[in-house]
Structure 1
């Protein structure tokens, strides 16, 4: 049979194909023009092809691994059948056979054969056979996503771990189908996005699986010291997710007081600060200068630590116990309903309700059209969960809130609005990359189903699209009606005497990016309309609609 293996961007490598028959797997990977030579003078399309090949040509690894799993699973089934026949024939009466089956069950035997052939340890082989069972029996729909190149083997193994505690067969089939559907429609994926989406599904449909994990973590809380050699050891402190995040933020608050001449790396400063806090000694700047400007007094450190806040986004009905919809802990990911209710019961917890009516009525602060209201700020950070740039995992509340279509400070009506449809979080690095480096285009659209999508196009012309991470938690945001006027044509706000330049640099940049965004949308719609797999489970996204500007 012929199989078209897709990259997680939703498009196949040009000229690539896979033919699988009874005796072989023939993989043909299209190699773009210009590979191995200088890209100087190459067209943007050629550069996009080069970038796509370099970034996505490994999507075939999942196909090969799936067939490896299939092979070892067939061996396991054959060994199990032999064991069943032996048990039926002997009635289990021979003590030798009984001891043999107890010590060396079929999985152990197949793993031993695999370990011998592959040259790996027995425990590694058993993990491989267990993953094959998960791929073929427990979560076959997710396994097919790996086979088709939508998720990589590492992400599949993480899904196996996250679903390991689901023991109800019917519920597991539903969760498997739900995970496969969600991942296939989420656009471009990353390790953090896969883990967050899967965690939210498992926590919503089988809270006991997450609860068991939390109980195991509570029992595993400890402090361990491991020698690393050369006079260095590591101290491992196992704690709850929220406590671990507080510790990290507190350490960052402590080291923020050193002067700019401190020679240590951030990691070295954190290590020194942790040792100082635990040992009860002072953390000091090591610049050695007489004019050191470090602010490391107890009062200064306490003031910075007092500003450490953990943000949790949760639905009101979950806190009230009417629902078990998971919550989202900024910087960590989805947490179970039981977990968030424990956090809400802490004496230091502060609860603020998000009023969607308030968002509809006014999205920018009164008197300042550039600054979003606190409600809009919290809503957009909660919706995206992390930096909206593909592949970035920076926490949303540690990122900037960016106007996707640039805000025009000189003439706000000619620029992008301060609105849910035009705001998303970006870490400081990617915010600066988009703003100051030429060729980068980002966009944000709301499709006909109320799903919010972001799109980033590299200077080479390679476009990556992905769905807002937490649409499952704040789906109402995609259905809000924008009340702002559409941006006017750049330059139209300058009436009267014509300036020397027809438009400012900001207006020129805004005009260029608006044109590129429109062109990208038209291209996307054309590809979607021509796609033969449109509407199937392997489609990466739903149909795109016009942006609600």
Structure 2
């Protein structure tokens, strides 16, 4: 017989007090939804009303988390009553299946869903009890639980289980913010992969052997679905190939994006020609024959980040694949060892002076604000870029070099970039004046980041930095958090790691053309914190974690503005004192100053000592 066990902190209550607090909050939330207050007066609309409803929404979500925790607690108790008291057997209708049937019938669920709830409840009780308390306290949701349970399955029943549970729970409590499913998955994988790389290796080998193709005909209206499982890099390359062919249609093509991609996939698989369906006799689309797709003028780049010790085989630190997430050390080495992979350093040992930068200021393929254009060339490049970055998992943790590995031998090599030196954790910090410096922007244009900074920010962010958005970092725009002032760069916008972050096109437009404001600053631990403010001034915390948790050595990289080679642009035409855009940007700068004052001193001081004055902020950026 097996006995249920729990490693939850001693003295933990059933959550009664927490539930009483939530009940009061829920009552307030329901009351705030009403159009009239307790006295019967009609509630006034406006920012205060929006803030009240947003607070109510947070209370509702906290109650959802608590009730999910309570449900798991009840199911775990049923498991202890009905399953763990029975001897293990191999019957199809064993005690576990019969408990699943009880759960399924009670909730009108499928048998599979009922058994999954049982499995999750047992995992929360026995494997990750501290994470269960995070669910109770509203730090995560039921959806998050499914992710954590599945990503910690590797350590179930091993000596690593308790340590993994402790570290995940501590991270959730230490780093509040918006945990998207992808970022939570990456955090769990980072912890598990470092604790038990051998299990990761075995599971990946099994998953690789189980790859396949399947057809799902259980669809309506004469439709079916075709699926396949393969390595992450192959899947990314295949998907990008489909996108590249689908994007050849002109803008007048009436099909939705997803429909065009479906047709492009069929053309690729069958060798048939993909055609634009705009119906115009003078259609400008140039669509290649799917049978000779390598002649398509496009470039496919898959970026992968890892440290040098992992590629050298002296450590088994996890890596990161753009558009996928954390990968194991063996996986990174396999990518680097493939015949069509070209491994080269992102930073060279021959350091350049910060007064120079080999980035051509006329190049547009490394854009900051415009969409990534299809690059001309003779063939499709398939480039998963394995970028070597420091990781704390290596015991020797010697100085590393960031490297880039690119699929396709025909890819143009990136220019050489000075190499940052990364130090052993726990050692005294050297004088920063002795650290090597990388150029932060182009010598000819302080507005445009250097290639070194461009790559650094994308590696650090991993995704779009807006809460909940998981657009891959190499598909986003780099944005100046504080609007760049072209006439006086010292006054607005910094082209450096703290002044830049990645935003997908939608969220970039949301910030640029509406009243949303974002900010980015260093907290007391030196961690970059990203926050957003709604048009009503309501603060929304950004992602709790970036890739510096996976590659701590990134914190040692330093950037310095290079000497300017060309004079700054001078606007010599007559200018108004202040345009509408200037007023908007000045207001945003002022709001950030007030928000930072709130964090440092408190809102009372701000109201007593600050007045709004936009007259000295000058014209807007262009």
TM tier relative to shorter chain: 0.7 to 0.9
Q: CA deviation at 1:417?
A: 1.5
Answering whether residue 154 of structure 2 is matched by residue 78 of structure 1, we say no
* 2:145 aligned residue (156, 178, 201): 156
Answering whether residue 510 of structure 2 is matched by residue 518 of structure 1, we say no
- For the 8 Å contact 1:79–1:110, the answer to whether it is kept is yes
Cα distance in 1 for residues equivalent to 2:491 and 2:295: 41
Answering whether residue 177 of structure 2 is matched by residue 176 of structure 1, we say no
Which residue of structure 2 lines up, in the alignment, with residue 90 of structure 1?
A: none
Answering whether residue 315 of structure 2 is matched by residue 323 of structure 1, we say yes
Which residue of structure 2 lines up, in the alignment, with residue 256 of structure 1?
A: 247
Given the superposition, is the C-alpha separation of residues 453 and 254 from structure 1 closer, same or farther in structure 2, using an over 3 Å criterion?
Answer: same
Answering whether residue 564 of structure 2 is matched by residue 457 of structure 1, we say no
Which residue of structure 1 lines up, in the alignment, with residue 194 of structure 2?
A: 204
Which residue of structure 2 lines up, in the alignment, with residue 408 of structure 1?
A: 485
Cα distance in 1 for residues equivalent to 2:63 and 2:278: 51
Q: 1:136-189: per-residue Cα shift (whole Å, max 9, x none)?
A: 110011111111111110110111111112145331110111111222315221
Which residue of structure 2 lines up, in the alignment, with residue 194 of structure 1?
A: 184
- For the 8 Å contact 2:26–2:59, the answer to whether it is kept is no
* 1:31 aligned residue (18, 29, 32): 29
Cα distance in 2 for residues equivalent to 1:29 and 1:527: 29
Answering whether residue 23 of structure 2 is matched by residue 44 of structure 1, we say no
Q: 1:36-90: per-residue Cα shift (whole Å, max 9, x none)?
A: 4499953423312323433662221221122222222223223457447xxxxxx
Return 5+ residue gaps in structure 2 as ranges.
Answer: 1-12, 37-41, 347-401, 403-418, 422-434, 563-568, 604-622
Which residue of structure 2 lines up, in the alignment, with residue 356 of structure 1?
A: 420
Given the superposition, is the C-alpha separation of residues 292 and 371 from structure 1 closer, same or farther in structure 2, using an over 3 Å criterion?
Answer: same
Given the superposition, is the C-alpha separation of residues 29 and 203 from structure 1 closer, same or farther in structure 2, using an over 3 Å criterion?
Answer: farther
Cα distance in 2 for residues equivalent to 1:116 and 1:27: 32
Cα distance in 1 for residues equivalent to 2:101 and 2:67: 21
- TM-score under structure 1 normalisation? 0.81
- For the 8 Å contact 2:441–2:561, the answer to whether it is kept is no
Flag the structure with higher helix content.
Answer: 1
Q: CA deviation at 1:325?
A: 1.8
Q: CA deviation at 1:337?
A: 0.8
* 2:516 aligned residue (440, 455, 460): 440
Cα distance in 1 for residues equivalent to 2:134 and 2:32: 31
Given the superposition, is the C-alpha separation of residues 112 and 432 from structure 1 closer, same or farther in structure 2, using an over 3 Å criterion?
Answer: closer
My pick for the range that moved more, 208-217 or 106-115, is 106-115
Cα distance in 2 for residues equivalent to 1:36 and 1:349: 61
Q: Secondary structure of 1:444's partner?
A: strand
Cα distance in 1 for residues equivalent to 2:154 and 2:511: 42
My pick for the range that moved more, 119-128 or 412-421, is 119-128
- For the 8 Å contact 1:108–1:126, the answer to whether it is kept is yes
Aligned pairs (5 A) from 1:367-386: 367-386=444-463
Cα distance in 2 for residues equivalent to 1:286 and 1:211: 47
Aligned pairs (5 A) from 1:331-346: 331-346=323-338
Q: CA deviation at 1:222?
A: 1.6
Which residue of structure 2 lines up, in the alignment, with residue 473 of structure 1?
A: 550
* 2:114 aligned residue (108, 122, 125): 125
Which residue of structure 1 lines up, in the alignment, with residue 357 of structure 2?
A: none
Q: CA deviation at 1:252?
A: 1.1
Return 5+ residue gaps in structure 1 as ranges.
Answer: 6-16, 85-97, 486-492, 529-549
Cα distance in 2 for residues equivalent to 1:170 and 1:58: 34
Q: 1:243-265: per-residue Cα shift (whole Å, max 9, x none)?
A: 11111111111111111111111
* 2:472 aligned residue (387, 392, 395): 395
Cα distance in 2 for residues equivalent to 1:157 and 1:456: 27
Which one has more relative contact order, counting CA pairs under 8 Å at least 6 apart? 1
Given the superposition, is the C-alpha separation of residues 63 and 32 from structure 1 closer, same or farther in structure 2, using an over 3 Å criterion?
Answer: closer
Answering whether residue 301 of structure 2 is matched by residue 309 of structure 1, we say yes
- For the 8 Å contact 2:519–2:592, the answer to whether it is kept is yes
Q: 1:103-156: per-residue Cα shift (whole Å, max 9, x none)?
A: 665434543444454444444332222211111110011111111111110110
Cα distance in 2 for residues equivalent to 1:26 and 1:124: 32
Q: CA deviation at 1:301?
A: 5.6
Q: CA deviation at 1:503?
A: 4.3
Aligned pairs (5 A) from 1:293-304: 293-298=284-289, 302=294, 304=296
- For the 8 Å contact 2:214–2:228, the answer to whether it is kept is yes
- TM-score under structure 2 normalisation? 0.72
Q: 1:498-536: per-residue Cα shift (whole Å, max 9, x none)?
A: x874445554333322221122233344689xxxxxxxx
Cα distance in 2 for residues equivalent to 1:522 and 1:479: 28
What number of residue pairs does the alignment pair up?
492
Answering whether residue 221 of structure 2 is matched by residue 221 of structure 1, we say no
- For the 8 Å contact 2:244–2:298, the answer to whether it is kept is no
- For the 8 Å contact 2:480–2:500, the answer to whether it is kept is yes
Q: CA deviation at 1:453?
A: 1.1
Q: CA deviation at 1:436?
A: 1.4
- For the 8 Å contact 1:166–1:206, the answer to whether it is kept is yes
Which residue of structure 2 lines up, in the alignment, with residue 142 of structure 1?
A: 131
Which residue of structure 2 lines up, in the alignment, with residue 19 of structure 1?
A: 20
Cα RMSD for the two superposed structures: 3.4
- For the 8 Å contact 1:32–1:53, the answer to whether it is kept is yes
Cα distance in 2 for residues equivalent to 1:310 and 1:463: 34
My pick for the range that moved more, 351-360 or 340-349, is 351-360
